[in-house]
Amino acid sequence: MASKAKVVIVGGSFGGLTTAYALRGYAGSEQIDITLVSKERRFTFIPSLIWVAIGSRSVERISFDLEHPLESKQVRFVNDAVTTIDTSRKMVLGTRGEHPYDFLVVATGHRSANEAVDGLGPFDGPGHSPMSPPEAEELASAIRALLRDPGPVVIGAAPGASCIGPAYELVFELDHLLRQRRIRHVAPLSFVTPEPYLGHMGMGGAGAVRQLLERAFEEREIPYATSASVTRVTTDAVEVDATRSIPSALSIIIPPLAGIEAVANSVGLANPKGFIPVGTGFRHQNAHGVYAVGVAVAMAPVSETPAPVNFPKTGHMTEQMATIAASDIASVVSGRRGRGEPEAELSARCVLSMGDRGIYMSVDPVRPPRNKIPTISEGRAWMVVKQLFERSYLWHARHGRRMPTALGW
């Protein structure tokens, strides 16, 4: 009897969890042993971190322990911090042991490169960011302080950022919160972005989203600067293009992303920024049996811009990558994989929170040019949809199930 294939998945967020669930759906435990290695014991619904920052969610409410749902799918969970990946030995090395593999899926997510902007903390500088649970909780504390003692706020993204959506959500959510508290008049908001225009979001825009966002900023009296490079954050200002300073009592800046240290330092695995080059099926271009999904994947910008803006990677896109990689692994194990599979075209569907309403965007494919005209819709109903999606996704995921929807996020 042939030995079972050993699959190791590194990372327990959208990419890792989706890969594990999808792979077990494609192949039973008699064909494949699956081990998921994660530094974090808990899955966190990352899109809701903006609500943690605003104060309408707790991290506990949007997270759950990984072990039980994974074991229910016959996936072994190992709580371990990966230190390096040895592709020559086909071995993942962690602080608690070694994990041999026949197939490896790197779904490690990102490291926030806060060091790219002087003063962008939050733990070693005055700037704030919502990119991880601890940072979102720290930002929530800073927003509570702002509500007690209002002042000017600057929200935006640093040059080289790729995850710009949360900056838009935070500026609208904070605008809504300040108006509810009747202190918006003493807390002016400003928005700075490296995008060449509002709504570019690293994907070259989408339909009429630019016009919708420009109107929303004008209606809410939020001045904005595009093609702007945040160069420094101080306790009372945000410096832009090293030539001007915007007063700020609270500064929230989305940083550029980089690959995590364990991936970046593994020989022959990643590019200089720590991201992994992949080809068809999200297979590594050189390392045998290695796949990458989600933020860990290297993707070129859609075009050159005056200030650098990188290609976005949403949770919805990550799940598509994970499903494709899982299918490819299962087809190799079973001997079904054909030749010359077409490159995957990723689509994006998401709802952007605006405090009391939402913007729905459907873009297919994400990278232009596109055969389909993007769908853009604004309304209060989309905010309800976003809230229900969060609740439904968490319920399905914590019960070992994949979310049965084409909505995306």
- pLDDT for residue 407 is more than 50: no
Mean pLDDT throughout 371-391? 95
Tokens found for residue 62 = 């949007």
Tell me the CA distances in angstroms from 185 to 133, 152, 173, 296, one per residue in order: 30, 10, 16, 42
- pLDDT for residue 101 is more than 90: yes
Tell me the CA distances in angstroms from 153 to 186, 195, 246, 247, 353, one per residue in order: 10, 19, 9, 8, 19
User: What single letter denotes the amino acid at residue 403?
Assistant: M
Among 25-29, 92-96, 220-224, 237-241, the minimum mean pLDDT is found in 25-29
Closest CA to 293 of 265, 268, 266, 328: 328
Per-residue pLDDT at 2: 58
Mean pLDDT throughout 214-224? 98
Please answer whether residues 187 and 150 qualify as being in contact, where contact means their C-beta atoms are separated by less than 8 angstroms.
Answer: yes
Residues carrying an active site annotation: 163, 350
Per-residue pLDDT at 403: 77
Mean pLDDT throughout 307-313? 95
Query: If one looks up domain 5-110+259-343 in CATH, what number appears?
Result: 3.50.50.60
- pLDDT for residue 349 is more than 70: yes
Domain 114-256 has CATH 3.50.50.60: yes
Confidence of residue 404 (pLDDT cuts 50, 70, 90): low
Among 79-88, 327-336, 355-364, 383-392, the minimum mean pLDDT is found in 327-336
CA angle at residue 44 from 41 to 48, to 5 degrees?
Answer: 165
- pLDDT for residue 139 is more than 90: yes
- pLDDT for residue 342 is more than 70: no
Q: In the chain, what are the domain boundaries? A: 5-110+259-343, 114-256
In percent, the amount of the chain with pLDDT more than 70 equals 96
- pLDDT for residue 402 is more than 90: no
Per-residue pLDDT at 22: 96
Tokens found for residue 94 = 């962690």
Topology alike, domains 5-110+259-343 and 114-256: yes
Per-residue pLDDT at 345: 85
- pLDDT for residue 1 is more than 50: no
Mean pLDDT throughout 124-153? 96
Paired strand residues for 233:
238
For the segment 12-47, what is each residue's pLDDT rounded down to a tens digit?
A: 999 999 999 999 999 998 999 999 999 999 999 999
